Amino acid sequence: MTDLTRNHLTEAALRALHLMDLTALNDTDTHDSIRALAAAANTPLGTPAALCVYVQFVRTAKEALAAQGLNIPVATVTNFPIGEANPQAAAGETAEAVLLGADEVDVVFPYRALMAGDEDVGHKLVSMCRTAVGDKVLKVIIESGELTAPQLIKRASEISIQAGAHFIKTSTGKVPVNATLQAAEIMLEAIRKSGKQVGFKAAGGVRTATEAAAYLALADRIMGPDWAKPETFRFGASSLLGNLLTTLGQDAGATRNTAY
């Protein structure tokens, strides 16, 4: 690796660290493991953009962060991971998540309904969830790896943007194919063409600084070099943190390998 390449990777790793939604969405999660996740967020090089946990752990995450003097958002998931075509239920879950303290909500788009030709239910679900979050942040998971066809990825992105999503997100991390650069390009282009202030989140399968650097380079190319910041760009991962810290010359031994 040349010095130029090494410097570029180090720069990308530091950017990525501050753009992470440090995530634990495992069936084995406990209040203690979420406290450990919150502790891992307190790195020598700063904090990730947010923690993302199941709704029953939101309060635990917030308390654990506050105990360390960290003021970063806590996100959770709704309509997850199936993406049911039930706007009322998704909006109800989303409203409940906000009542329990979530600062951000990642809701799964009814992607199977879109694949069956129903565009209206997706628009209604996102619109209702946008209302339900109030002044909090709504990220819409389109499950790009299941949509597969570029036109469907594009259409799910467009519908979500039109219905008020603050971010569009690739994946739940619970399917065989999660974030890909191909899907990311389609989604970023949809954001660019919309002219709206909408962010992008790559989730599932981004585990190394090299992989993160590729997504950042893509965003820089499509959206401009100053666009990717916590308000507009996120990575959803956990094991990525350890690799980033190692790349940056830090001890990653305390981080958890709970990536989705």
* Interatomic CA distance for residues 64 and 31, integer angstroms: 10
At CB < 8 A and 24+ separation, what contacts does 94-101 make?
94/129, 94/132, 94/133, 94/138, 95/132, 95/133, 96/55, 97/55, 97/58, 98/132, 98/133, 98/134, 98/136, 100/55, 100/58, 100/59, 100/76, 101/58, 101/59, 101/62, 101/74
**Known catalytic residue: 103?**
no
- Quick one: 44 exposed, middle or buried, by C-beta within 10 A (0-12, 13-18, 19+)? exposed
Q: What distances in angstroms separate CA 167 from CA 76, 145, 202, 244, one per listed residue?
A: 14, 17, 10, 23
Q: Is the peptide bond before 81 cis (omega within 30 degrees of 0)?
A: yes
| Residue that is written with structure tokens 């036109």 in the block | 151
Q: Which of 124, 136, 139, 169 is catalytic?
A: 169
User: Does the active-site annotation cover 201?
Assistant: yes
**Phi, psi at residue 199, to the nearest 5°?**
-95, 175
Give me the helix-helix angle, 181-194 and 209-223, nearest 10°: 30
Exposed, middle or buried, 71 (CB in 10 Å: 0-12/13-18/19+)?
exposed
Whether 136 is a known active-site residue: answer no
Taking the C-alpha atoms of residue 171 and residue 194, their distance in angstroms, rounded to an integer, is 21
* Set 21, 62, 103, 106: catalytic member: 106
Which active-site residues does the annotation give?
Answer: 106, 169, 201
